[in-house]
């Protein structure tokens, strides 16, 4: 496989980046960890007090001072592996000074569950087209796993998908801990699109709750959602996959039902009458599904898959349709 990979740079300062750093630190294989975030005040706080002031602030993160910085280029130069963990909507901005030459020879991991807006590309495609990263040098981490539960060391399972499953196994060896188990997959498209879609279904689930539907309806919504997800990923990347695996169904369930879900919380606020902007501001966290549903609407023009749940969420968020009326119309299409 080539040289041992043991220098890793995490790009992003949110909850999931903080949880990923915790997993990397708690895993006992020898490694050096570097951490980039854009917020200088947060970097200073971490260097002084070993806690992220804004996200998962109870988690202790002890890294050498010089390994945490707002200056991305040298941190990327130092790394064998670059783990991308900013919301997809801010990925281009985060990488604005980084060239394909800077990433040449690196292995790239995406912990992002989103589509790059304007480009309408999942992360693997975006990095391939813009940075010449091959699918064999790329990995995506997904699966039902909330940062808040990682902070509490609750048992969680992640799936790592890559064009090179040996590489994915090597990376799994860097994050496995007492509380993190890993599965390996070669389904980059299904894993990425599955994670993107489940965020939209969690928004739908939140909207339904917000407008007054109960658990009975939510169960029907989510069983329709998994079929919609299966249809969509089969159209985009038709391979033999079991949609009941935890990277697909598991991730949908945790997001649609958990108190920690950003997307569900966001949807609930939309159902209660908040605007998208005020809901995002109120949460201080990013609901990827908000951006993703607009991209999916565009991507699906090419495939023409029947995705009524996505279309209902799109109509509510981007065409300012009434959540009550859209959900009533959607309910007629579910079975």
Ligand X SMILES: NC(=O)C1=CN([C@@H]2O[C@H](COP(=O)(O)OP(=O)(O)OC[C@H]3O[C@@H](n4cnc5c(N)ncnc54)[C@H](O)[C@@H]3O)[C@@H](O)[C@H]2O)C=CC1
Set 73, 198, 244, 301: catalytic member: 198
Per residue in 95-119, is it b (16+ CB within 10 Å) or e — as a string?
beebeeebbeebbbbbbbbbbbbee
117: closest CA among 295, 311, 303? 295
Residue placing its CB nearer to ligand 13P in the complex, 43 or 210: 210
Q: Which of residues 237-276 bind ligand 13P (CB under 6 A)?
A: 251, 254-255, 258, 260-263
Kindly tell me which residue out of 21, 68, 172, 286 binds ligand X, with binding defined by CB under 6 A: 286
267: closest CA among 190, 175, 191, 330? 330
Residue 113 makes contact with ligand 13P by CB under 6 A: yes
Kindly tell me which residue out of 15, 52, 159, 185 binds ligand X, with binding defined by CB under 6 A: 15
Residue placing its CB nearer to ligand X in the complex, 111 or 174: 111
Residue 131 makes contact with ligand X by CB under 6 A: no
Residue 112 makes contact with ligand X by CB under 6 A: yes
Degrees to nearest 5, angle at CA 165 with 164 and 166 = 90
Residue 55 makes contact with ligand X by CB under 6 A: yes
The single-letter DSSP state of residue 168 is H
Residue placing its CB nearer to ligand 13P in the complex, 278 or 302: 278
305 marked as part of a ligand binding site: no
Write the DSSP assignment of 267-285 as a string of letters.
HHHHHTT--HHHHHHHHTS
Residue 205 makes contact with ligand 13P by CB under 6 A: no
Kindly tell me which residue out of 24, 123, 145, 175 binds ligand 13P, with binding defined by CB under 6 A: 145
What's the sign of the alpha-carbon dihedral 188, 117, 265, 216?
A: negative
Place of tokens 């020898």: 30
Q: Which does 144 bind (CB under 5 to 8 A by kind): ligand X, ligand 13P, none?
A: ligand 13P
Residue placing its CB nearer to ligand 13P in the complex, 112 or 127: 112
Q: Give yes or no for a contact between 122 and 196, defined as CB atoms under 8 angstroms apart.
A: yes
Q: Name every residue whose Cβ is closer than 8 Å to that of residue 321 and which is 6 or more positions away in sequence.
A: 315
Residue placing its CB nearer to ligand X in the complex, 17 or 226: 17
Q: Which of residues 273-332 bind ligand 13P (CB under 6 A)?
A: none
* Cβ neighbour number for residue 21 with a 10 Å cutoff: 26
Degrees to nearest 5, angle at CA 254 with 250 and 257 = 135
Tokens of 82: 């670059």
Q: Which stretch binds ligand X (CB under 6 A): 57-65, 82-90, 169-177, 179-187?
A: 82-90
Active site residue 198: yes
Q: Which residues bind ligand 13P (CB under 6 A)?
A: 113, 144-146, 199, 202, 251, 254-255, 258, 260-263
User: Catalytic residues, which ones?
Assistant: 198
Q: Which residues bind ligand X (CB under 6 A)?
A: 12-17, 38, 55, 85-88, 90, 93, 111-114, 145-147, 262, 285-286, 288
């Amino acid at each position: 496989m080539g040289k041992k990979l043991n220098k890793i740079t995490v790009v992003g300062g949110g909850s999931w980046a903080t949880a990923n750093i915790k997993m990397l630190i708690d895993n006992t294989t020898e490694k050096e960890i570097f951490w980039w975030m854009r917020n200088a005040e947060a970097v200073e706080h971490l260097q002084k007090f070993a806690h992220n002031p804004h996200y998962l602030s109870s988690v202790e993160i002890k890294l050498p001072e010089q390994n945490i910085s707002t200056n991305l280029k040298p941190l990327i130069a130092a790394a064998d592996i670059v783990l991308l963990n900013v919301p997809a909507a801010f990925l281009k901005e985060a990488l604005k000074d980084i060239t394909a030459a800077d990433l040449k020879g690196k292995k790239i991991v995406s912990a992002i569950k989103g589509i790059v807006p304007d480009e309408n590309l999942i992360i693997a495609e975006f990095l391939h087209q813009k940075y010449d990263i091959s699918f064999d040098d790329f990995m995506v981490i997904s699966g039902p796993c909330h940062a808040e539960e990682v902070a509490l060391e609750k048992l969680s399972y992640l799936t790592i998908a890559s064009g090179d499953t040996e590489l994915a196994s090597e990376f799994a060896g860097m994050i496995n801990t007492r509380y993190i188990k890993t599965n390996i997959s070669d389904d980059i498209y299904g894993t990425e699109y599955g994670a993107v879609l489940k965020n939209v279904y969690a928004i739908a689930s939140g909207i339904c709750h917000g407008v007054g539907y109960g658990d009975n309806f939510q169960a029907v919504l989510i069983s329709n959602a998994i079929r919609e997800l299966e249809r969509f990923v089969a159209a985009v990347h038709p391979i033999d996959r079991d949609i009941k695996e935890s990277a697909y169904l598991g991730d949908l369930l945790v997001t649609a039902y958990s108190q920690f879900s950003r997307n569900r919380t966001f949807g609930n606020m939309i159902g209660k009458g908040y605007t998208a902007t005020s809901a995002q501001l109120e949460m201080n966290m990013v609901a990827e599904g908000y951006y993703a549903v607009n991209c999916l609407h565009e991507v699906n023009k090419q495939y023409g898959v029947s995705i009524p749940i996505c279309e209902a969420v799109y109509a509510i968020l981007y065409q300012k349709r009434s959540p009550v009326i859209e959900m009533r119309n959607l309910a007629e299409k579910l079975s």
